[in-house]
Amino acid sequence: MSDETVDIARVRAEIAAEVRARRAAGEYPASLERELDELFARFAPKEVSESLGDALERSEEAAAIAPEIPVASNNPLFGLVKRVLARLLGWYHVFVAQQVTAATVAVNHVLRRLVDKVTRLERATGDAARARESLARVVPTRDDASWEDAVTAALRGVTGRVLVGECGDGRLLAALSAAGLDAYGVEPRPELAETALAQGLEVRLDDVPGHLGTVAPGDLAGIVLRGCVERMPAGELVALADLAAAALAPGGRVVVASTAPPAWGRERTEVEADLAAGRPLHAATWQHLLAERGFPNCAVTTIGGRPLEPVAAGAPDADVLNANLARISDVLFGPDAYVLVATRDR
């Protein structure tokens, strides 16, 4: 058997061209094609088609039951018997046919609504899958240097295995390893994983939820979450919190290094923000999720930001102006990122 990949589209085109040529030569008369269509419809009706719409149309066509009782017969005596029985049982046959037809129509009405919803769902999920594929081709850019010191300090004293997911090009992972931590990384993008591996770092090509699902309960002493926490939908982030809690031993630490929600979609993250199914959570939301999972103590360090200069204290209404400037700064020029550290107590 040849190892060459078969071009299905090309094979179909060649078959179609051959059929057109033979039809033009008179080898395939129209009557033969009609007979083949009828034969196919007989043994492979629309209800076994992959198209839900075609199957439903065939079901709707078959919904109505004809109340007439067939009485034709080659034997005159049998024909007479059939006609007598048809007269005697005709009213009952009509009654049953009406009841069955009504029930079938009602079921088909429900199926029609269900098919419409399934079609819309398939379209929506298909579009979401295409967006995910496009996002997977975008190389994320993060300033790991901005939170490198905060993350390293948060894990100081941890003696067990520490997971960094996603580790990106390995800058943060290298800093943790240099600090004496037993750290390894998980990265789903091959090009970034290869960059980290080239530095001699321990990196596994996998997505973070998939890897955490294979970790034995309590097997990790620390988990650093970056990158994925900014793009995943809220439901997947809740599931990620469950996985992290299950993988950490008592006393273990989880560190969330994330872009701040107001900064998401600015400058280097514009394309990611447009294509991502989710967005970064606020630090308070992570505190809430982790507190429910046995992490009551959380500390948050904000990073970056360009606050407006306050008005001099001696200026008229300086207190009011500075309070308003602070509120504007929080909304428009607040922190670019944050590092949240939570310790498990059970």
Q: Domain holding 168: CATH number? A: 3.40.50.150
- From residue 326, alpha-carbon distances to 260, 306, 315, 318 in Å are 17, 11, 16, 12
pLDDT of residue 240: 96
pLDDT of residue 76: 81
The values of phi and psi at residue 257, to 5°, are -105, 105
Report if residue 19 sits inside a domain. no
pLDDT-wise least confident of 22-31, 226-235, 248-257, 311-320: 22-31
pLDDT of residue 17: 79
- Same domain for 72 and 156, yes or no, is no
Q: What's the rounded Cα separation, in Å, for the pair 229 and 142?
A: 13
Mean pLDDT value of segment 175-196: 94
- Same domain for 128 and 209, yes or no, is no
Nearest C-alpha neighbor of 257 from the set 159, 191, 335: 335
As given in the structure block, the two tokens for residue 195 are: 């960059």
Q: Which residue has the higher pLDDT, 103 or 254?
A: 254
Report if residue 244 sits inside a domain. yes
Sign of CA dihedral 253, 259, 260, 261: negative
- Same domain for 186 and 231, yes or no, is yes
- Same domain for 127 and 150, yes or no, is no
- Same domain for 88 and 43, yes or no, is yes
- Same domain for 69 and 102, yes or no, is yes
pLDDT-wise least confident of 10-19, 154-163, 179-188, 263-272: 10-19
Q: Which residue has the tokens 């990073």?
A: 303
Report if residue 61 sits inside a domain. yes
C-alpha 272 chain-centroid distance: 15
Nearest C-alpha neighbor of 289 from the set 281, 277, 279, 299: 281
Report if residue 218 sits inside a domain. yes
- Same domain for 183 and 296, yes or no, is yes
Nearest C-alpha neighbor of 144 from the set 192, 90, 202: 192
pLDDT 10s digits, 116-128 = 887 777 776 777 7
Q: 254: helix, coil or strand?
A: strand
Percent over 90 (pLDDT), the chain: 42
Of 78, 109, 134, which marks where a domain is finished?
A: 134
- Same domain for 105 and 166, yes or no, is no
Q: Please state the length of the chain.
A: 346
pLDDT of residue 71: 74
Q: How confident is the model at residue 160 (pLDDT cuts 50, 70, 90)?
A: very high
The yes-or-no verdict on residue 44 having pLDDT over 80 is no
- The type of residue at 73 is S
Q: Are 256 and 223 in contact (CB under 8 A)?
A: no
pLDDT-wise least confident of 86-95, 166-175, 181-190, 282-291: 86-95
Q: Are 227 and 168 in contact (CB under 8 A)?
A: yes
pLDDT 10s digits, 2-28 = 445 667 777 877 887 787 777 777 776
As given in the structure block, the two tokens for residue 46 are: 């629309």
- Same domain for 196 and 339, yes or no, is yes
Report if residue 4 sits inside a domain. no
Of 106, 134, 162, which marks where a domain is finished?
A: 134
Q: Are 162 and 182 in contact (CB under 8 A)?
A: yes
pLDDT of residue 50: 56
**Dihedral (Cα; 98, 102, 104, 107), 10-degree rounding:** -170
Query: What burial class does residue 232 get, using C-beta atoms within 10 Å of its C-beta: 0-12 exposed, 13-18 middle, 19+ buried?
Result: buried
The yes-or-no verdict on residue 67 having pLDDT over 90 is no
Q: Which residue has the higher pLDDT, 258 or 103?
A: 258
Report if residue 95 sits inside a domain. yes
What's the domain range around 309? 144-343
Percent over 70 (pLDDT), the chain: 85
Mean pLDDT value of segment 321-344: 81
- Same domain for 212 and 248, yes or no, is yes
Mean pLDDT value of segment 142-170: 93
Mean pLDDT value of segment 201-210: 94
The yes-or-no verdict on residue 64 having pLDDT over 50 is yes
The yes-or-no verdict on residue 256 having pLDDT over 80 is yes
- pTM greater than 0.85 (yes/no): no
Q: Give the count of domains, the chain.
A: 2
Contacts with 59 (C-beta within 8 Å, 6 or more apart), sequence order: 47, 104, 108, 111
Of 80, 110, 134, which marks where a domain is finished?
A: 134
Report if residue 18 sits inside a domain. no
Q: What's the rounded Cα separation, in Å, for the pair 247 and 257?
A: 18
pLDDT of residue 342: 96
Report if residue 11 sits inside a domain. no
Q: How confident is the model at residue 288 (pLDDT cuts 50, 70, 90)?
A: very high
- Same domain for 211 and 246, yes or no, is yes
pLDDT-wise least confident of 6-10, 152-156, 337-341: 6-10
- Same domain for 160 and 84, yes or no, is no
Give the angle subtended at the CA of 272 by the CAs of 215 and 331, to the nearest 5°: 105
Q: Are 191 and 139 in contact (CB under 8 A)?
A: yes
